[in-house]
């Protein structure tokens, strides 16, 4: 051995070695190994994973000689595996909290059914018909466990679950997840159908006044040794882990309370039953102590259930039920006594007994009621929001955005109430310095954020403000205010007549301009402009916001209006309407355009037609975003208006290009091919290029079902599109202008050449003047077009293949493979059916092979080689020789069915001395 090899050997042997994970079959071969494994401090694999492995192996279907799938055989191996799974659950003491957290519904259902079976409960027996008192203790306990799990699962399924973030899509994983989801849904359906029986079983269990036993590893061994005994009192039925009658009642009461509480959403009377069960659980825990319970109960959740039941079952005339703030708030919300509600929130600002989430949920409910038309609640919403905000301030939380929105327009009444809440929420004599500091900072920032000096004086002269801020802090605040408004002389002492101080004209103009920017109400915009023009005639108010943009073709007409007020109003109404249209606020856009139309109709026919055109575009957008999105055809009136716009011949009307484009696209989208091809006036086709392009597209769509030689229109469309994508001589630049086009022509040509299309046969096979075509523009257009098409119909497999081809041509192999697989999935019910051969052609398969190869997923390359019409052994063998594979390698061997590839794989592993992998390949051959 060389020195270098010796060094490598020494380095390898000195590394710490991770002990290998014990395989499931080792527990089958060695009986005592399971208990030894479970006694370890951190067994690997953990107990719950062992349950999954044992039951998974025991439930694997078999294949007979005729290659037919058969249910799992009832042989010794499978019985041992099921017994091992039960032993692991017994080691966990049948704790449903642990089992439910780690096992899926199908696995836990199988486990508990095996428990029923081994506990001598005859299959098919309805548990509600069985007298629990006459059964052996372990049998009765098995029935209880199953029915407890059944109603717990029903309750758990009613809670919203946050979806796990999906990883990279893998077909076998997706298939497994889908199967498990369907199986879970089927089990839940059965459990819900049997829910009434499960409840009766558990209600009957409450009448049992005797201890029961749950199976342990020892009792399960005893049962395995005495298969002939059925429902008899044996050593195995009384030698298990003892569960006292009080513990059983405690758990059953809690589970029954949970199912009754869930049913209360549809039947309010059931809440009384839930309340009875939860309070009984609470009483039993207080009597026996939570530490004595064999099964744990979440006492915080139990307390929440009890609180909720008290609120839901309280009556308005029951004074004893009004003790807690929750029940008082619930009563106020039901009866509409909202002023009492504000009083409760204000009192709680001192005690802080209500959680933040509960306060926010009440405020959300009030906002929802206010939005439904109850205007009287606006004031209540503000007051509750103020109470919540002051509570947040005292607890060191940030101010909610809702408070900032409601305080955008402060008033004397709002400031008065805010100061009242601040005073009532802090006891200055007993409050800590930290609380005082937080309140002082809040009031100081409130002053600094206000522009109206009247409100600043209201806060700074309040008793609470004077007590919280020291003299030097108040002086510093006044200095800051002076810098902001140097002409105003602020006084540190309270001013008795501060309401009479007039605001300056510049402040009023600034406030009105701010309102003008925010408002989308046409009437309010008009009123503000009238006020502003009454204050000053020097300003052009359409210029105060750089966000107000009107197309240049309209701007010259609008700015030509002589009256300054009318000019400002028309410009602002149109600019705001266009902005609302752009952000899809079509309701406000329609109101603004309607007001503008009414205004310009009085003096300008030209602007009247402009507004009619813009309202037509708005109606197109509104339909496409609303009824059109669900496939509903547009009304005939809208189609007639679109045709009328295209045929319009009014001179000197400024027209926006986008309206003509949208009108033609609208007619194409709703298959108005007859109009575009036969009825559109010829002069319109000759003068409007968008109509000409639309006519050619419509005619080509009409001719698609016809014979190839009759598709003259397709050739005309081809020539027009080539002309659009060509660079004319007059636009060609020097060497520095078009070098990039020449340089990238070959790469962009690859994109055009590499993609496959559904109707590619109807187009000409060559381009006469190839040098003039801007292939970069073609490539960008194809990319954008396919990307947009997939937003309209994400399940069109032809478009998915094209998208994959584009990614393939641009060397984005991971994305290309994703779309190739997605195309196969959508046309085969997620690969439950065969992918049509016209989708997965040999060319597509070869591209998938290349993608996998370049992503170093070499085992997947070998698998895909089998799908070719003639298996590509050369590529498969070369891929299997690669050792730097980034996929799961031998985990994929069961998907290789070609004997030649499997034989080569076996030979390869034998040659490398990889015994384990060779064995996996041999097993794949045998299966």
Boundary residue ending a domain (192, 221, 243): 243
| Nearest-angstrom CA–CA distance, 258 and 302 | 9
- Considering the domain architecture, whether residues 180 and 206 belong to the same structural domain is answered as yes
Looking at per-residue pLDDT, the higher value among 332 and 30 belongs to: 332
What DSSP element (H or E) covers 213? strand 212-214
d(CA 35, CA 27): 10
Where in the sequence is the domain holding 858, given as residue range(s)? 747-755+774-926
pLDDT of residue 268: 67
Highest mean pLDDT among 17-26, 164-173, 179-188: 179-188
Q: Is residue 363's pLDDT more than 90?
A: no
Pair 657, 536 in one domain: yes
Q: What is the pLDDT of residue 731?
A: 46
Is pLDDT of 494 > 50?
Answer: no
At 505-521, the pLDDT tens digits run 555 777 888 888 888 89
The pLDDT of residue 617 is 92
824 located within any domain: yes
- The listed range with the strongest mean pLDDT (145-149, 298-302, 493-497, 623-627) is 145-149
Closest CA to 232 of 119, 79, 144, 114: 119
Q: What's the pLDDT at 706?
A: 64
Q: Are residues 44 and 100 in the same domain?
A: yes
pLDDT of residue 818: 92
Q: Taking all residues of the chain, what is their mean pLDDT, rounded to a whole number?
A: 77
Percent of the chain with pLDDT over 70: 80
887 or 488, higher pLDDT? 887
pLDDT tens string 879-913: 888 878 777 677 777 888 888 888 888 888 888 77
Residue 698 is predicted with a pLDDT of: 78
**Is the pLDDT at 720 greater than 50, yes or no?**
yes
pLDDT at residue 663 greater than cutoff 80: yes
Q: Are residues 360 and 443 in the same domain?
A: yes
Task: Mark whether 552 and 656 lie in a shared domain.
Answer: yes
Q: Would you say residue 729 has pLDDT above 70? A: no
Q: Give the pLDDT of residue 162.
A: 58
Please check whether residues 528 and 658 belong to one and the same domain. yes
CA distance linking residue 762 with residue 624, whole number of Å: 30
State the pLDDT confidence band at 496, using cuts at 50, 70 and 90: very low
Specify whether 432 is located in the same domain as 521. Answer: no
pLDDT of residue 29: 64
Helix/strand/coil (H, E, C) string of 766-831?
CCCCHHHECHHHHHHHHHHHHHHHHHHCCCCHHHHHHHHHHHHHCCCHHHHHHHHHHHHHHCCCCC
**621-661 pLDDT per residue, tens:** 998 888 777 778 888 888 888 888 878 877 788 888 888 88
Asked if pLDDT for residue 501 goes beyond 60, the answer is: no
The pLDDT tens digits for 601-626 are 888 888 999 999 999 999 999 988 88
Check which CATH number belongs to the domain holding 810 and give it.
Answer: 1.25.40
Q: How far apart are CA 765 and CA 715, in angstroms?
A: 11
User: Greatest CA span in the chain, whole angstroms?
Assistant: 107
Does the residue 271 lie in any domain?
A: no
pLDDT in tens, 269-284: 777 888 888 888 888 8
Over residues 366-384, mean pLDDT: 82
Higher-scoring residue by pLDDT: 26, 52: 52
Q: Which residues of 843-881 are buried (b: 16+ CB within 10 A; e: fewer)?
A: ebbbbbbbbbbebebbbbbbbbbbbbeeebeebbbebbe
- In this structure, the dihedral spanned by the alpha carbons of residues 115, 118, 120 and 126, taken in order and rounded to 10 degrees, is 30
pLDDT digit string (tens) for 669-701?
887 777 777 777 777 777 777 777 877 787 777
pLDDT, position 594: 93
Alpha-carbon gap, residue 399 to 389, rounded angstroms: 6
Strand partners, 69: 63
Q: Under a CB-based contact definition with an 8 Å cutoff, are residues 108 and 86 in contact? A: no
Check whether 121 has a pLDDT greater than 50: yes
Phi, psi of 220 (to 5 degrees): -65, -35
CA distance 618 to 621: 5
Specify whether the CB–CB gap between 332 and 365 falls below 8 A.
Answer: no
Assess whether 225 and 196 both reside in one domain.
yes
Q: How many domains does the structure of the chain reveal?
A: 4
Position 593 scores a pLDDT of: 92
> Are residues 490 and 510 located together in one domain of the fold?
no
More confident residue, 706 or 745: 706
pLDDT tens per residue across span 777-811: 778 888 888 888 888 888 888 889 888 988 888 88
Question: Which helix (DSSP H) or strand (DSSP E) does residue 36 occupy?
Answer: helix 33-38
The DSSP 8-state label assigned to residue 62 in this structure reads E
Q: Is pLDDT above 90 for 198?
A: no
Which pLDDT belongs to residue 488?
39
Question: Is 703 within a domain?
Answer: no
Separation CA 688–CA 660 (nearest Å): 9
**pLDDT exceeds 80 at position 166:** no
pLDDT at 229 over 50: no
Select from 611, 645, 670 the last residue of a domain: 670
Answer yes or no: do 436 and 374 share one domain: yes
DSSP codes, 497-550: TGGGPPPPHHHHHHHHHHHHHH---HHHHHHHHHHHHHH-SS--GGGS-TT---
Determine the pLDDT at residue 490.
Answer: 40
- Respond yes or no on whether the N-terminal peptide bond of residue 582 is cis (omega within 30° of 0): no
Q: Where among 647, 670, 693 does a domain terminate? A: 670
- Condensed to tens digits (0 to 9), the pLDDT of residues 796-854 reads 888 898 889 888 888 899 999 999 999 999 988 888 888 888 888 888 989 999 999 88
**Which of 567, 565, 566, 571 has the alpha carbon at shortest distance from 551?**
571
pLDDT of residue 292: 56
pTM for the predicted model, two decimal places? 0.44
Instruction: Count the neighbouring beta carbons within 10 Å of the beta carbon of residue 171.
Output: 13
539 and 566 both lie in a single domain: yes
Half-sphere exposure of 516 (CA within 13 A, CB side): 27
Model pLDDT, residue 748 = 43
Question: Among 45, 53, 46, which residue's Cα sits nearest to residue 22?
Answer: 45
Query: Is 273 within a domain?
Result: no
Task: Please check whether residue 294 lies inside any domain of the structure.
Answer: no
Rounded to an integer, the average pLDDT of 461-480 is: 76
Judge whether 875 lies within some domain.
yes
For residue 3, tell me if it sits in a domain: no
Measured CA to CA, the distance from residue 392 to residue 345 in angstroms comes to 12
Q: Which two tokens stand for residue 847?
A: 């591209």
Asked if the model's pLDDT at residue 123 lies above 80, the reply is no
Task: Decide if 459 contacts 381 (C-beta within 8 A).
Answer: no
Residue 249 within a domain: no
pLDDT band at 23 (very low <50, low <70, confident <90, very high): low
Same domain, 635 and 526: yes
Alpha-carbon gap, residue 593 to 600, rounded angstroms: 10
Separation of alpha carbons 846 and 859, rounded Å: 15
pLDDT at 240: 77
Most confidently modeled range among 23-37, 400-414, 584-598, 754-768: 584-598
For residue 710, pLDDT beyond 70: no
């Amino acid at each position: 051995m060389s020195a270098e090899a010796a060094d490598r050997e020494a380095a390898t042997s000195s590394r710490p070695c991770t002990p290998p994970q014990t395989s499931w079959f080792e527990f089958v071969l060695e009986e005592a190994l399971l208990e030894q494994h479970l006694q370890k401090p951190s067994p690997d694999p953990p107990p719950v994973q062992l349950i999954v492995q044992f039951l998974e192996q025991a439930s694997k279907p078999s294949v007979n000689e005729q290659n037919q799938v058969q249910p799992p055989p009832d042989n010794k191996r499978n019985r041992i595996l099921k017994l091992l799974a039960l032993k692991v659950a017994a080691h966990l003491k049948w704790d449903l909290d642990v089992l439910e957290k780690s096992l899926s519904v199908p696995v836990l259902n199988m486990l508990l059914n095996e428990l029923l079976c081994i506990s001598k409960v005859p299959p098919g027996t309805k548990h509600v018909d069985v007298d629990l008192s006459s059964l052996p203790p372990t049998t009765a306990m098995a029935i209880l466990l199953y029915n407890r799990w059944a109603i717990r699962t029903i309750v758990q399924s009613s809670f919203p679950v946050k979806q796990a973030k999906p990883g990279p899509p893998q077909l076998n994983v997706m298939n497994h997840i889908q199967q498990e989801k369907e199986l879970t849904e089927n089990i839940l359906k059965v459990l819900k159908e049997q829910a009434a029986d499960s409840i009766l079983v558990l209600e009957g269990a409450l009448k049992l006044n005797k201890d029961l036993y749950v199976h342990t590893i020892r009792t399960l061994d005893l049962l395995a040794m005495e298969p002939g005994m059925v429902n008899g009192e044996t050593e195995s039925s009384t030698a298990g882990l003892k569960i006292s009658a009080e513990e059983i009642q405690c758990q059953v009461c809690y589970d029954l309370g949970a199912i009754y509480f869930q049913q209360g959403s549809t039947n309010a009377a059931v809440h009384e039953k839930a309340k009875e069960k939860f309070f009984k659980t609470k009483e039993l825990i207080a009597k026996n102590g939570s530490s004595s319970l064999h099964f744990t109960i979440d006492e915080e959740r139990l307390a929440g259930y009890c609180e909720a039941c008290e609120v839901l079952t309280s009556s308005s005339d029951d004074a004893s039920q009004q003790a807690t703030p929750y029940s008082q708030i619930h009563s106020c919300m039901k009866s509409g006594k909202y002023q009492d509600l504000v009083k409760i929130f204000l009192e709680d600002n001192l005690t802080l007994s209500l959680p933040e989430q509960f306060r926010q949920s009440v405020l959300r409910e009030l906002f929802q009621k206010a939005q439904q038309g109850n205007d009287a609640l606006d004031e209540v919403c503000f007051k509750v929001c103020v109470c919540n905000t002051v509570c947040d301030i005292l607890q060191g939380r940030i101010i909610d955005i809702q408070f900032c929105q409601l305080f955008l327009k402060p008033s004397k009444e709002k400031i008065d109430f805010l100061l009242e809440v601040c005073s009532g929420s802090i006891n200055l004599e007993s409050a800590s310095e930290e609380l005082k500091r937080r309140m002082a900072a809040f009031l100081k920032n409130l002053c600094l954020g206000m522009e109206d000096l009247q409100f600043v004086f209201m806060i700074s002269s309040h008793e609470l403000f004077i007590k919280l801020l020291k003299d030097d802090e108040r002086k510093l605040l006044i200095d800051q205010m002076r810098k902001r408004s140097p002409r105003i002389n602020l006084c540190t002492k309270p001013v008795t007549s501060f309401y009479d101080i007039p605001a300056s004209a510049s402040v009023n103009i600034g406030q009105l301009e701010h309102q003008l920017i925010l408002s989308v109400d046409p009437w309010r915009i008009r009123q503000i402009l009238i006020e502003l023009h009454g204050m000053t005639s020097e300003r052009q108010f359409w210029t105060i916001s750089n966000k107000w943009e009107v197309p240049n073709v309209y701007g010259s007409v609008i700015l030509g209006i002589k009256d300054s007020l009318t000019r400002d109003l028309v410009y602002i109404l149109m600019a705001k309407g266009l902005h609302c249209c752009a952000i899809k606020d079509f309701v406000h856009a329609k109101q603004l355009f309607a007001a503008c139309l009414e205004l310009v109709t009085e003096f300008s026919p030209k602007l009247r037609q402009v507004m009619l055109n813009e309202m037509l575009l708005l109606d197109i957008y509104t339909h496409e975003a609303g009824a059109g999105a669900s496939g509903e055809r547009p009304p005939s009136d809208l189609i007639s208006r679109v045709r009328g716009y295209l045929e319009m011949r009014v001179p000197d009307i400024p027209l926006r290009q986008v309206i003509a484009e949208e009108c033609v696209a609208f007619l194409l989208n709703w298959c108005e091919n007859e109009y575009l091809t036969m009825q559109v006036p010829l002069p319109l086709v000759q003068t409007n290029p968008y109509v000409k392009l639309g006519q050619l597209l419509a005619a080509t769509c009409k001719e698609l079902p016809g014979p190839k030689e009759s598709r003259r229109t397709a050739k005309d469309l081809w020539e027009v599109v080539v002309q659009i994508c060509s660079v004319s001589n007059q636009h060609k630049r020097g060497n520095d202008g078009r070098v990039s086009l020449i340089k990238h022509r070959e790469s962009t040509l690859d994109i055009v050449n590499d993609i496959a299309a559904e109707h590619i046969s109807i187009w000409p096979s060559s381009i006469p003047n190839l040098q003039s075509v801007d292939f970069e523009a073609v490539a960008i257009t194809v990319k954008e077009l396919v990307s947009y098409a997939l937003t309209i119909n994400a399940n069109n497999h032809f478009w998915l293949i094209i998208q994959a081809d584009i990614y393939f041509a641009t060397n984005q192999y991971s994305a290309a493979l994703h779309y190739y697989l997605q195309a196969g999935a959508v046309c085969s019910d997620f690969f439950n059916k065969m992918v049509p051969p016209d989708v997965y052609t040999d060319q597509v398969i070869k591209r998938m092979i290349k993608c996998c190869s370049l992503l170093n997923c070499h085992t997947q390359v070998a698998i895909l080689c089998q799908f070719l019409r003639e298996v590509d052994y050369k590529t498969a063998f070369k891929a299997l020789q690669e050792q730097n594979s980034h996929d799961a390698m031998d985990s994929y061997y069961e998907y290789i069915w070609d004997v030649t590839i499997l034989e080569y794989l076996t030979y390869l592993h034998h040659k490398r001395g990889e015994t384990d992998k060779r064995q996996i390949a041999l097993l794949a051959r045998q299966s």
